[in-house]
Amino acid sequence: MARSWDKAAVVLCMDVGLAMSNSFPGEESPFELAKKVMTMFVQRQVFAENKDEVALVLFGTDGTKNALAAGDQYQNITVHRHLMRPDFDLLEDIESKIQPGSQQADLLDALIVCMDLIQEETLGKKFEKRHIEVFTDLSSPFSRDQLDIIIHNLKKSGISLQFFLPFPIGKQGGTGDRGDGSLLSDHHGPSFPPKGITEQQKEGIQMVKKVMMSLEGEDGLEEIYSFSEALRQLCVFKKTERRSMPWSCQLTIGSNLSIKIVAYKSITQEKVKKCWTVVDARTLKKEAIQKETVYCLNDDDETEVSKEDTIQGFRYGSDIIPFSKVDEEQMKYKSEGKCFSVLGFCRSSQVHMKYFMGNQVLKVFAAKDDEAAAVALSSLIHALDELDMVAVVRYVYNEKTNPQVGVAFPLIKDAYECLVYIQLPFMEDLRQYMFPSLKNNRKCTPTEAQLSAVDALIDSMSLVQKDEEEGTIEDLFPTSKIPNPQFQRLFQGRKKTIYFFSSHEEGPTCKKLKTEEEEAHFSVSSLAEGSVTCVGSVNPAENFRVLVRQKKATFEEASHQLINHIEQFLDTNETLYFMKSMDCIKAFREEAIQFSEEQRFNNFLKALREKVEVKQLNHFWEIVVHDGVTLITKDEAPGSSVTTEEAKKFLAPKENANADSAAAFEEGGDVDDLLELI
Amino acid sequence: MSGWESYYKNEGDEEEEQEEGLEAGGDYSYSGRDSLIFLVDASRAMFESQDEDELTPFDMSIQCIRSVYTNKIISSNRDLLAVVFYGTKKDKNSVNFKNIYVLQELDNPGVKRVQELDKFKGQEGKKYFEDQIGHGSDYSLSEVLWVCANLFSDVQFKMSHKRIMLFTNEDDPHGDDSAKASRARTKAGDLRDTGIFLDLMHLKKRGGFDTSLFYRDVIIAENEDIGIHFEESSKLEDLLRKVRAKETRKRVLSRLKLKLNKDVTLTVGIYNMVQKAYRPPPVRLYRETNEPVKTKTRTFNVNTGSLLLPSDTKRSQTYSHRQIVLEKEETEELKRFDEPGFILIGFKPLMMLKKHHYLRHSLFVYPEESLINGSSTLFSALLTKCLEKEVMAVCRYTPRRNSPPCFVALVPQEEELDDQKIQVAPPARQGPLSVGLSRQEHWSGLPCPPPGDLPDPGDLTHISCISGFQLVFLPYADDKRKVPFTEKVMANPEQVDKMKAIVQKLRFKYRSDSFENPVLQQHFRNMEALALDLMEPEQAVDLTLPKTEVMDKRLGSLVDEFKELVYPPDYNPEGKVTKRKKDDESYGSKRPKVELSEEELKAHVSKGTLGKLTVPALKEACRMYGLKGGLKKQELLDVLTEHFQKA
């Protein structure tokens, strides 16, 4: 999905000045909120794996680092990161390296630095879009004298702007729906800036509005967001969202009337694009794995036949009819190339929503820069709208695709008007089912009391707020502005896993976090599930705990299963699985003390140490040592014969440990099979 | 990738297809085969038509059966069908009862069986019947049912559903023999007890078919529950619809909980009323014998050549050089959010449902009493109130355990019955075989009724529903795309009125079953031709093609009048887009960039030539100076002129 023509250069321009850290008690500061919004943005960028490049410019920093700085010009502005593909380093930087500054810097100066950066660093590279995202509370003074030049240059170089502020600004107008839009407003929060903002900030708002108006007109105001708005709707990053390919065609009515149109996909289910590749469990390489498909006869020996000896056929009832690809190609239906032809018009109520099908909605406009086409299409749109009718059309994307029959209905908004195309079913796609009537069925007729209870429920759970005076309805829960939690989950899940790897290289802090999480996890989900029957590989430690605590298996049985998994994990020689093993070992240790099975654990741990040595898993042993997981001592469990001293020595570096603990190992026996020990 | 993949399917799409299969759950899960016996009265009365042009009841039955056969070949070729005649002269059945002729035992539908049925069609069919089988003088309905029961018990497969459809126009078969009648009633009761459904497809009888004489006690009272009583069928169309309504068994996709709040839960069934029908997947055959081969897929290690078990592999993804490795189960868990079911979030007015926010085809929700008692009553109360208050229920919907949740609207729909008292809903799939009863002959799928035959604009009888909730999927923010729209240029009232005249001329009544899929139709015609060794497959009529001749004729001079009003004289709407390159360049911005310097504009204003500029250019100019103009060209001109005159 990474397409070079769709590449964007984005500068994140963040105010870290003095005032950004101010906040009301109990609220997050603008500084923290801005970081959150940026993190979300960069996360999406990283996981979207597009070719966009992102730079980070901070202003209000104590130091100065930018190409324009000279004398007292462009001070306290730092180019933190130049234009490049976003990665985890950038995320980590935003999370931990950016610190609030103690200075103030001119926002417009910072904008100039950003523009300069884009100019310089996109030289010789092809970027389809350039834009700057500004995060500021507008509380620093700025000098207006350059404003017009800035606006002019932004326009000239095609750089777009988006502002993110700690508070909402008043927005009016915009691309509201006609019909539904004028009645409904999706805006959240008050429509005027909240009280408590300074004169400086008011001035800032005026300036920001002016800039956006001059750049994009009325719509420009739509590109000024509050942090909370941005956090709620990730989709505000419109400049990086996926764009639809134009499809040009002619809308035809009969053989003599055609209108040049262009159509775009406006709604289509966004799916997780990246799939999981199958890798070898040991080497984690996908190259090591190959799949092959073989054909065999349906006889007792399952005799294999080569693919060349097979032909294609189709079922036709009880018969199977051989039908080669060549024949099929020759005989199959061929559409006559792309088209968007009206088959007829009907009342809009005859095409019920329940018949809509297919996986996309197309918006059909007149061809670009073609006024005649625009007037012609407008006539059709308004004719349909006024008659409350729709067009039924045949739609063929290109000569290789199958024809569709669909509905095209008018959509008229303040800013634009178009036809909306949605596919309709073929007769073959319909299913007729009959259901007992609910209306006249004595068995399920609700009582008056039941009806009024439901009535009250509906009233109490209304998702809209009606303003009687203005006659507007506000949607309190606009689902189409909520991002898909699946993507959020993926971003977060992957981020966690990836951090986990990287942090481990630096230090063990994350590791602890992970165990805590696991603990918490145990208390909630495992008890709720309550159906664990064996130790699985996904949550072995947790399963183990459940098994022994709920006495679903003997301690011996459960620990066998657990040890099996630990061995498997270690065989991978992968840090991630070391951590998982550690969790298992810790769980084993804790439960062993609980259930007076200390000997079993001690035997296991001793054997493990031997195994680690044989298999050269020193790296793993270091983790064990670091976490201080050692033999269970007398003090912890009365059944143990190990002293604290011995336990300490057990973890001591090899050279010393060898002699001292040799004796302890005699009872160990065969080190190759840990299981036999227990 | 092309952003425009259509529903076109080929081999490469199999994975997707599998996923669809999963989605469709209930349709693919296999719980046994449906079996259906067509029991046809072959007494003399069945061969008599009341009218010269009218089909005889027997002929109608045969055509109807044939249509079900061809249907099944496409939709569910594992189902079992049989045809039994009674009241015949000859007999053919396993217990040697008189006057009962088993034409076809329960088996999969196939080409040969369809051809056999064809022999009984029309006048020649009547003769063929008389020669081969002949009319008998007497029969016992209890024996007939006995033979049917035997047919079911002879089947080796697991059957999920057993049904007999009885086609007759005799409303009192044993009027003179009360012993026979009583035996028939007893036998029918026995069948019912063993889970065999018996339906009466009663056909037109002179003087009317009176079910109270005999059949009311024989036929299972399931219709009473539904509250629908069928009329007798005098037209093939009616009979077909009746048969199809019975013959497709509804399959629930899933049964889920609908949580109204933390205490109140009911259970509902989810049904699929539209499902894209694809060409069946090809099967691989062994070249020598044409027998189907099995495929086996193996995963092995390249280095060692050893086969790998699923546990020997893991799943991996790489993001900016960092690899993530998870167990397969863990990748599944990533997708897990809620337990399957609906969680009610709240209610919104129906008018807030946006038609153009369509995401994927909707489903149908109906109460499921089997899991929680009282579900139907609560459901019914909810439906009644939602209809009354004109609201829809917004819910969070998790279809399966490992699937992420989505927002859905439960839109109430009220039941409407059509004149035949069959709940009006889409008819089931119809066979493509074109011989005999062709749908194309029948409904002709004519989007343009012949001139003079325009439907009454007020005729709304076909917008009918089954009572229940329609489950409409709502898009997430991620699913919406901003599109670079074309600048709005409004047509004037005269132009709109002319278009209205065009629209009115091309009016037709849309029916969801008006259009057959030409791709599937051609495929099955090809199959048919090959199966029957025809030289040339019959060409399917493509109903999706516009009937341009009819349309042109109806429109007459309107098109030229419209073009004159809208298009400049030298304009060629068919012309290729030549400004391709320019298009690409300006593509990034959603507006055409028409750069006009202040000097140029001033010059235009002073010379009064501003009107020569295009509307987009004028708008752009207004935007540059922060002027708010209207949408009409004149308004834009006024604003600009005013601005510069002031300056």
Name the token pair of B461: 């009888």
Contact B350, B411 (CB under 8 A): yes
Please state whether beta strands A310-316 and B283-286 pair in parallel, antiparallel, or not at all (unpaired): antiparallel
Residues from chain A contacting residue B109 (CB–CB below 8 Å): 317-318
Is the minimum CB–CB distance between A403 and chain B shorter than 8 Å?
yes
Cβ separation A296–B566 shorter than 8 A: no
- Over residues A651-667, mean pLDDT: 47
* CA pair distance A36, A56, nearest whole angstrom: 14
Cβ separation B285–A322 shorter than 8 A: yes
* CA pair distance B525, A331, nearest whole angstrom: 10
Residues from chain B contacting residue A475 (CB–CB below 8 Å): 348, 352
For B56-76, what is each residue's pLDDT tens digit? 889 989 988 988 888 788 777
For A155-189, what is each residue's pLDDT tens digit? 888 888 889 888 877 654 333 333 333 333 334 33
- Over residues B48-56, mean pLDDT: 78
| A247 Cα to chain B: minimum distance (Å) | 9
Cβ separation B530–A480 shorter than 8 A: no
Please state whether beta strands B363-367 and B468-473 pair in parallel, antiparallel, or not at all (unpaired): antiparallel
Cβ separation A346–B508 shorter than 8 A: yes
Cβ separation A287–B302 shorter than 8 A: yes
* CA pair distance A49, A490, nearest whole angstrom: 13
The pLDDT value recorded for residue A268 is 87
Collapsing DSSP to helix, strand or coil, A607 comes out as: helix
Residue among A426, A463, A474, A575 with most chain B CBs within 10 A, to mutate: A426
The pLDDT value recorded for residue B594 is 52
* H/E stretch holding A45: helix A30-48
ipTM of the complex: 0.71
Cβ separation A383–B499 shorter than 8 A: yes
Cβ separation B367–A444 shorter than 8 A: yes
The pLDDT value recorded for residue B465 is 56
Q: Which amino acid is at B562?
A: F
The fraction of chain A above a pLDDT of 70, given in percent, is 79
Is the minimum CB–CB distance between A293 and chain B shorter than 8 Å?
yes
Residues 619-638 on A with a CB inside 8 Å of B are none
Residues from chain A contacting residue B586 (CB–CB below 8 Å): 368
* CA pair distance B637, B622, nearest whole angstrom: 9
Phi, psi of A175 (to 5 degrees): -95, 65
The pLDDT value recorded for residue A576 is 64
Cβ separation B530–A576 shorter than 8 A: no
Cβ separation A477–B345 shorter than 8 A: yes
* H/E stretch holding A257: strand A257-268
The pLDDT value recorded for residue B595 is 62
Q: Is the pLDDT score of A674 beyond 70?
A: no
Contact B641, B625 (CB under 8 A): no
Is the minimum CB–CB distance between A344 and chain B shorter than 8 Å?
yes
For A60-74, what is each residue's pLDDT tens digit? 999 899 988 888 888
Cβ separation B523–A332 shorter than 8 A: yes
* CA pair distance B272, B51, nearest whole angstrom: 41
Q: Which of B386, B475, B507 sits opposite A267 (nearest CB)?
A: B475
Beta-sheet strands, E only, within A4-141 = 8-15, 53-59, 77-84, 129-135
For A127-143, what is each residue's pLDDT tens digit? 878 889 999 998 888 88
For A494-523, what is each residue's pLDDT tens digit? 555 544 433 333 323 222 233 333 332 332
Maximum average pLDDT range among A10-24, A210-224, B69-83, B441-455: A10-24
What b/e string do you get for B272-298 counting C-beta neighbours within 10 Å, with b at 16 or more?
bbbbbbbbbeebbbbeeeeebbeeeee
Cβ separation B274–A257 shorter than 8 A: no
CA atoms within 13 A on the CB side of B587: 18
Cβ neighbours of residue A47 under 8 Å, at least 6 residues apart? Answer: A274, A490, A491, A494, B319
Cβ separation A345–B508 shorter than 8 A: yes
- Over residues B165-174, mean pLDDT: 88
- Over residues A204-219, mean pLDDT: 84
Q: Would you say how long chain B is, in residues?
A: 647
- Where is pLDDT greater, at A525 or A457? A457
Mean pLDDT across chain B: 76
Contact B71, B116 (CB under 8 A): no
For A257-296, what is each residue's pLDDT tens digit? 999 999 999 998 877 666 778 888 777 777 778 888 888 8
Q: Which of A247, A268, A429 sits opposite B276 (nearest CB)?
A: A429
Maximum average pLDDT range among B212-226, B321-335, B442-456: B321-335
Cβ separation A538–B348 shorter than 8 A: no
Contact A373, B491 (CB under 8 A): no
The pLDDT value recorded for residue A70 is 85
Cβ separation A353–B346 shorter than 8 A: no
Contact B399, B513 (CB under 8 A): no
Residues 70-129 on A with a CB inside 8 Å of B are 85, 87-88, 128-129
| A607 Cα to chain B: minimum distance (Å) | 25
Q: How many CB pairs under 8 A join A and B?
A: 696
* CA pair distance B332, A143, nearest whole angstrom: 55
Bridge partners of residue B642, in order along the sequence: none
Collapsing DSSP to helix, strand or coil, B380 comes out as: helix
The pLDDT value recorded for residue A304 is 84
Q: Is the pLDDT score of B517 beyond 80?
A: yes
Residues from chain B contacting residue A402 (CB–CB below 8 Å): 6-8, 517, 519
Find the range with the poorest average confidence among A216-230, A662-676, B325-339, B349-363.
A662-676
The pLDDT value recorded for residue A508 is 30
* CA pair distance B136, B85, nearest whole angstrom: 11
The pLDDT value recorded for residue A158 is 84
Cβ neighbours of residue A237 under 8 Å, at least 6 residues apart? Answer: A41, A44, A133, A162
| B371 Cα to chain A: minimum distance (Å) | 15
Degrees to nearest 5, angle at CA B380 with B377 and B385: 130
Mean pLDDT across chain A: 77
Phi, psi of A343 (to 5 degrees): -95, -25
* CA pair distance B327, A538, nearest whole angstrom: 7
Residues 196-255 on A with a CB inside 8 Å of B are 213-214, 216-218, 233-235, 238, 241-248, 250, 252-255
Residues from chain B contacting residue A383 (CB–CB below 8 Å): 496-497, 499-500, 502-503
| A464 Cα to chain B: minimum distance (Å) | 6
Q: Which of B1, B3, B500 sits opposite A383 (nearest CB)?
A: B500
Contact B99, B91 (CB under 8 A): yes
Residues from chain B contacting residue A180 (CB–CB below 8 Å): 351-352, 354
Residue in chain A nearest B529 by alpha carbon: A321
Is the minimum CB–CB distance between A378 and chain B shorter than 8 Å?
yes
Residues from chain A contacting residue B113 (CB–CB below 8 Å): 317
The pLDDT value recorded for residue B450 is 34
The fraction of chain A above a pLDDT of 90, given in percent, is 19
The fraction of chain B above a pLDDT of 90, given in percent, is 22
Task: Give the model's confidence band at A379: pLDDT under 50 very low, under 70 low, under 90 confident, else very high.
Answer: very high
Q: Which amino acid is at A499?
A: Y
Cβ separation A254–B291 shorter than 8 A: no
Task: Give the model's confidence band at B385: pLDDT under 50 very low, under 70 low, under 90 confident, else very high.
Answer: very high
- Residue B195: other Cβ atoms inside 10 A: 11
Residues from chain B contacting residue A482 (CB–CB below 8 Å): 407, 476-477
Sheet of B294-301, strand order: A304-305, A289-296, B294-301
- Where is pLDDT greater, at A48 or B494? B494
Contact A344, B588 (CB under 8 A): no
Residues from chain B contacting residue A433 (CB–CB below 8 Å): 248, 250, 271, 273, 364, 425, 466
The pLDDT value recorded for residue A397 is 92
- Where is pLDDT greater, at B466 or A19? A19
Residues from chain A contacting residue B407 (CB–CB below 8 Å): 479, 482
For B71-93, what is each residue's pLDDT tens digit? 788 777 778 999 999 999 999 99
H helix runs in B133-235, sequence order: 141-153, 178-193, 215-218, 222-226
Residue among A180, A435, A489 with most chain B CBs within 10 A, to mutate: A435
Is the minimum CB–CB distance between A678 and chain B shorter than 8 Å?
no
Residue among A3, A160, A237, A368 with most chain B CBs within 10 A, to mutate: A368
- Over residues B233-241, mean pLDDT: 73
- Over residues A546-555, mean pLDDT: 78
Residue in chain A nearest B443 by alpha carbon: A427
For B245-266, what is each residue's pLDDT tens digit? 666 666 778 888 898 877 788 8
Q: Is the pLDDT score of A422 beyond 90?
A: yes
Find the range with the poorest average confidence among A9-13, A447-451, B591-595.
B591-595
- Over residues A69-90, mean pLDDT: 88
Residue in chain B nearest A310 by alpha carbon: B286
| B444 Cα to chain A: minimum distance (Å) | 13
- Where is pLDDT greater, at B172 or B532? B172
Residue among A210, A334, A454 with most chain B CBs within 10 A, to mutate: A454
